[in-house]
Chain A
Amino acid sequence: MNNRLHILLVLPGVLLVVALLVAPLYFVFLDTIPDLEHPFSLYEAFLEKGFHQKIIIRTIRVALITTMICVILAYPCAFFIARYARRFKAVLIVIAVFPLLLSPVVRSFAWMAILGKNGFVNDLLLFFRIIQEPVQMLYTEGAVIVGLTYLFLPLMILPLVGVIENIEEDLLDSAKSLGAKDIIVFFQIILPLSASGLLVGCILVFTGSLTAYTTPRLLGGDQAMTLSTLIYQNAMTLFEWDAASVIAIIMITLTILVMKIIGSLATRMNPDV
């Protein structure tokens, strides 16, 4: 088939994305620079407030911690699923995929019930007399991190399983037979060879946590706001559309930055990625 026909077939889709995504985003960007003589005046006004700075820093910190926890939890898990699980492999993958397809509202609500004043964790701690009265766990940064880790852990496990499966058994065996300790095998062989999966997982988890809305709203509330709850508040409650536009551009910039940084880190770990 000729090129013109191919172009004709993708055209409706391209137009749709341009009309509903590219153009509106471009206009949002234009909204943030109303005055060309002082192009950054709106950004300066937004960033001046300590409250806003705090939220930006908190959003990045929460995403960073969530990603690190996910890496630590996912590696052993993915290694086990890919190498040793055998007939349990399918079951373990199904259990990891299942929460991924479930509504984030349900998954965050579960943690509201667990971390609440009369929740499971407080009940347990009271029962064992570790605490005397219920502790406030909901509407804290910690609650948001737990909720986000729960939300995104499968997104770290699954790509890692995919790449660890492809590492040749002989490679690990020969390293071990030459006397390499487990920890050396991990850092010298498994880590570099699974870098591509780690990269995908980190990008998904980091950008996901940076931009998640439901979880910070339900588990963080007004006390532990992130950029996504802040943009909603500015746009829909305060009707501060200039501020909302600034936040939108900051969020997109952060997302792209994170993808670039993680991408270059992965190339350094394994130049073949």
Chain B
Amino acid sequence: MKRSGLVLIVSILLVYIFLIGPLVIIGFSGFNESEFLDFPPKVYSFRWFFRIFESDMFVSAFQTSLLISVLGATGALLVGLPAAYSLSRTRAKWRRSVLSLFMSPVIVPGVVLGFALLKHVVIALDIEVWTGMVMGHMLIMLPYVIRVIVSSLSNVPIEIEEAAVSLGCSNTHAFLIVVLPNIRSGILAACLLAFITSLNDGPVTIFLTGPGVTTLPIQMLSYVEYYFDPTVSALSVLLMLLTVAIMIVIESTMGLSFFTKK
């Protein structure tokens, strides 16, 4: 047992070095004074961070990303919240198939989704680039919104709602004053997860970009193909900070154990 215990410790150490190492390297190179991504840097500076904000390229792409994910998440929430409520309360036969229909945007490959949307919605119906982009993002956010809210609703016993109704509340009123306050943190977590999905998406978005409408990941993608300097490293540091902030909120709302369950 002792030897296999040692093997276990060493292997987990290697795996975690593999998981963290690249991020540490990229983090350091963001503070590099030189134009190369050498590790460790010889001289440290913030020049690449200033560089991000000097050129409009990344700032406007980030603004676009933000706007698209806020609009998309609002749409996904408007459609997803009633659906999630119904799915968590009904026992009808169609429940399973509707649930898997809602999960299908995760299963269909992103590039396929993006291509199909571009060809048969955006181009076929001559839709504006902006609208197409928001629709695409709404679609990829919907599964996360529904999954998180359904699981959060399953913790709200149906009895308290029935009690409210039997005391004279209408169904809608009971939902608003009894159910909704109980799933507030679930909704917040759903929005954050949806936000991060939208903010990070590459494959769907890359088919939907158009003149003047580019999101942050797509801008970064095309930048690193032409310029190999620490600007993107510095940007990565900022994105890591944002991710940490979002993780803290997810942890405090629904717990990160969410990720070890299906």
List chain A positions with a Cβ less than 8 A from chain B.
Answer: 1, 3, 5-7, 9-10, 12-14, 16-25, 27-28, 31, 73-74, 76-77, 79-81, 84, 90, 92-107, 109-114, 116, 118-120, 123, 150, 153-154, 157-159, 161-162, 165, 182, 200, 207, 210-214, 217-218, 228, 231-232, 235-236, 241, 244-245, 248, 251-252, 255, 259
Contacts and interface: CB of A to CB of B under 8 A. Distances in A.
Given A96-B19, A105-B200, 19 more contacts: A9-B85, A12-B82, A17-B101, A24-B119, A24-B120, A73-B11, A94-B251, A101-B243, A106-B240, A109-B224, A109-B236, A157-B15, A210-B109, A213-B110, A214-B221, A231-B111, A241-B119, A255-B108, A255-B109
A88 B118 CA distance: 46
Contact of A228 (B15, B102, B109, B247): B109
Indicate the size class of the contact surface on chain B.
35 or more
B236 A17 contact: no
B29 interface: yes
22 contacts: A6-B90, A13-B79, A13-B142, A13-B146, A21-B108, A21-B113, A22-B104, A25-B108, A73-B11, A73-B15, A94-B251, A101-B247, A113-B29, A116-B37, A116-B228, A120-B25, A207-B107, A211-B111, A228-B109, A235-B115, A248-B109, A252-B109
A1 B171 contact: yes
Contacts of A24: 116-117, 119-121
Contacts, number: 267
Contacts of A28: 112, 115-116, 119-120
Nearest to B27: A110
B111 A13 contact: no
- Give the one of B78, B119, B142, B216 with max A CB within 10 A: B119
A228 B260 contact: no
Given A97-B259, A231-B115, A232-B206, A112 B12 contact: no
B220 interface: yes
A102 B173 CA distance: 39
Nearest to B122: A24
A225 to B, nearest CB: 12
Interface of B: 1, 4, 7-9, 11-12, 15-16, 18-20, 22-23, 25-26, 29, 36-39, 78-80, 82-83, 85-87, 89-90, 92, 94, 98, 101-102, 104-105, 107-113, 115-121, 124, 135-136, 138-139, 142, 146, 171, 196, 199-200, 202-203, 206-207, 216-217, 220-221, 224-225, 228, 232-233, 235-236, 239-240, 243-244, 246-247, 251, 256-257, 259-262
